[in-house]
Amino acid sequence: MSFAPVLRDLPGRLSPAVREFQRLMEPEVDLEKLASRAQRLTRQYFGRTMRLFAPLYLSNECVNICQYCGFSRNNPILRLTLTVDQVEAEARHLAAEGFRSVLLVAGEHPKFVSGTYLAECVRRLRRFLPSVALEVGPLEVGDYEPLVAAGAEGLVVYQETYDPALYAELHTAGPKKDFWWRLDCAERAYRAGFRRIGIGALFGLGPWRGEALALAAHVDYLMRRCWRASVTVSMPRLRPAAGEFQPRAMLSDRDFTRLVCALRVAFPQVGIVLSTRESERIRDGLAGLGVTMMSAGSATEPGGYTGAGRDGLHRTERGKAVPVIVSEGEFATEQFEISDERSAAEVAERLRQLGLDPVWKDWDAGLGGKGC
Ligand code: SF4
C-alpha cells in the first residue's frame, strides 16, 4: 500500500473530497463565503480550542543538501547537538512556560542523532510532558517502533514538494534525495504505531496549486488508510535562512487563506497546523478560520530557549566536528527566521481575546492503533 500510485495518477481520478478541494481553490469561489463555511466547520469539529506546542531543536547537523534549508550540509553554520540533559533543560523551560506538547526537531545525521539518542530524549521528556512528537529524518518501521515504545505519539514529515523532478533539483545529496522513500514515510510511521501523523508541503518551491492538490490527495489518502491515527497538515511558506535560497513561486496571503479554508471545508476533521513562520497578523486572522494547532514563542536552533550547549558549538566538515572560537552572544545557527516573535503567553492571551481557548497539550488517549 502506498500513496505513490495515487500521486503518479494526479490529476486523474480524484475522490469526492479532493474534487471539492480543487473546486474551492478556484478564484471564482467567493473567499468570504468560503471563510465563513470554514469557520463554522472548525467550530463544529474542534470547538473553540487551539492546541499550542513548541518545537524543540535537538541538533542542526545534517548530511543532506536541501537548497532551501539553513541546516543544509554545505552551509558553514555553527552547529550543535544537545546532550540528553541539555534537551531536558530546554524542555523544562518550555514546561515552565505552560507547554505540555513539544515537537522534537533534528536534521538528519545518524552519527549525531541516532535512534538510541532519540529514544532516550523521548523517554526523558515523557516523565514530565504528556505529548512528545518527532520531526526527524525518515526511518524504517522497525526503527520507529522503539521511539513509539519510548512514548513518542506523533511523527511529522513534510514532502517539501510533490513534484519529483523539482524535488531532484532541490535535493542534490544525502539520503533525502530519495523522493519515494520519503513519500511513504507517513505510512511507515502509522504501521509503527504513531497516533498522530503530520504531513506538509513547503510553499515557495513549486507552483502552489499543483502542490496544494497533491497535498490534499495525500491527506485524503492517509485519512482513509490510516484511520486510527489523527492526521494533521502544515503549509509552511519559505522564510529567509542561511544559504539565501530565493522562493521560486509565490503564494500570496489571500491564496494562503483560501488554501487553509478549502482544506477545512473539504476535510472537516483534519488538524491544520500553523507555525511562527507566519506573521502575527496572518496567524491571528487564520486562528478561527481553520487552524487548530499553533506553535508559539518558538526558537529554531538547538539550545534556543536556554542557551544550553553553547560550549559545544562547532562547524562540521566531512562528518567531523571542527572546534571554532565563538564570540560573546553567538549561538547555534537557526533553521530559518521566525516571523511571529510574540512569547507563548502573548499568543495565548491574543487567542483568548479572539474568543478561542488555548490548550497546552495535544494528547487524546482514545486515538491510537497500529497498522495501515
Ligand atoms: S530540510 Fe531537513 S534534511 Fe534538508 S538540510 Fe534541512 S534539516 Fe537537513
Q: Stretch 146-160: mean pLDDT, rounded?
A: 98
Residues 354-366: what's their mean pLDDT? 75
Structural domain includes residue 369: no
Q: Centre a 10 Å sphere on the Cβ of residue 355 and count the other Cβ atoms it contains.
A: 9
Amino acid at 137: G
Residue 204's nearest CA partner among 151, 252, 242, 270 is 252
pLDDT at position 366, please? 40
* Residue pLDDT, tens place only, 180-190: 999 999 999 99
Ligand 1 atom at minimum distance from 176 CA:
3
Do residues 182 and 64 make contact, with C-beta atoms less than 8 angstroms apart? Answer: no
Cα 234 to middle of ligand 1, angstroms: 16
317: pLDDT confidence band, cut at 50, 70 and 90?
Answer: confident
Kindly state the average pLDDT of the residues 221-237. Answer: 96
**Distance in angstroms (rounded) separating the CA atoms of residues 140 and 17:** 30
Distance of CA 298 to the CA centre of its chain: 13
- Return the closest-CA partner of residue 336 out of 305, 303, 299: 299
CA of residue 299 to ligand 1 center, whole Å: 16
Q: Output the CA angle 87-160-26, nearest 5 degrees.
A: 130
Pocket lined around ligand 1, Cβ cut-off 6 Å: 62, 64, 66, 69, 71-72, 107-108, 176
The best mutation among 57, 109, 176, 245 to test binding of ligand 1, ranked by most ligand atoms within 8 Å of the C-beta, falls on 176
All three cell numbers of 321: 566536528
**Residue of the CA atom closest to atom 7 of ligand 1:** 107
Q: How far is the CA of 347 from the centre of ligand 1 (A)?
A: 28
Classify residue 192: in a domain, yes or no.
Answer: yes
Nearest CA to ligand 1 atom 4: 66
Query: Does residue 217 lie in a domain region?
Result: yes
> Quick check: 372 pLDDT over 60?
no
Give the nearest ligand 1 atom to 106 CA: 7
What is the CA(61)–ligand 1 centre distance, in A?
A: 9
Question: Where are the extended beta strands (E) located within 119-195?
Answer: 131-135, 154-160, 171-173
CA of 65 to the centre of ligand 1 (A): 7
Assigned domain for 64 exists: yes
Q: What are the tens digits of pLDDT across the range 212-222?
A: 999 999 999 99
Index of the ligand 1 atom closest to the CA of residue 69: 6
CA–centroid distance, residue 252 to ligand 1 (Å): 25
Q: Identify whether 365 is part of a domain.
A: no
How many CB atoms sit inside 10 A of residue 128's CB?
A: 11
Asked whether the predicted pLDDT for residue 240 surpasses 70, the reply is yes
* pLDDT of 138 over the 90 cut: yes
Identify the band that residue 368 occupies on the pLDDT scale cut at 50, 70 and 90: very low
From 57, 60, 71, give the residue whose CB has the most ligand 1 atoms within 8 Å, as the site to mutate: 71
Q: Is residue 370 part of a domain?
A: no
- Is 219 among the domain residues? yes
Query: Which residues fall within 8 angstroms of residue 117, CB to CB, at 6 or more apart?
Result: 58, 84
Is residue 365 over pLDDT 70?
no
**Among 241, 167, 149, which residue's Cα sits nearest to residue 211?**
167
3-state secondary structure of 210: helix
User: Looking at ligand 1, which residue's alpha carbon is closest to its atom 1?
Assistant: 69
What CATH number did the domain enclosing 235 receive? 3.20.20.70
Q: How far is the CA of 116 from the centre of ligand 1 (A)?
A: 20
* pLDDT top residue among 319 and 211: 211
In a domain, 368, yes or no: no
35 Cα–ligand 1 center, Å: 34
Distance of CA 225 from the midpoint of ligand 1 (Å) = 28
Q: What per-residue confidence (pLDDT) applies to 362?
A: 55
Q: Which domain holds residue 114?
A: 4-359
Q: What is the pLDDT of residues 73-120, one digit of tens each?
A: 999 999 999 999 999 999 999 999 999 999 999 999 999 999 999 999
Are the CB atoms for 53 and 99 separated by under 8 Å? yes
| Contact of 124 with 147, CB cutoff 8 Å | no
Could you give the number of structural domains in the chain?
Answer: 1
CA angle 213, 293, 25 (to 5 degrees): 25
DSSP codes of every residue in 2-30: -SHHHHHHTTSS--HHHHHHHHHTSTTS-
The number of the ligand 1 atom at minimal distance from the alpha carbon of 160 is 1
CB 24 within 8 A of CB 14: no
pLDDT given for residue 113 in this prediction = 97
Buried b (16+ CB within 10 A) or exposed e, 178-208: ebeebbbbbbbbbbbbbbbbbbbbbbbbbeb
Nearest ligand 1 atom, CA 63 = 8
The ligand 1 atom nearest the CA atom of 174: 3
1 pLDDT above the threshold of 80: no
Give the position, in ligand 1's atom list, of the atom nearest the Cα of 171. 4
Under a CB-based contact definition with an 8 Å cutoff, are residues 94 and 53 in contact? no
- Comparing 18-32, 134-148, 186-200, 302-316, the range with the smallest average pLDDT is 302-316
Specify which residues 55 forms β-bridges with: 103
Q: What is the DSSP letter of 195?
A: S
Mean of the pLDDT values across residues 169-181? 97
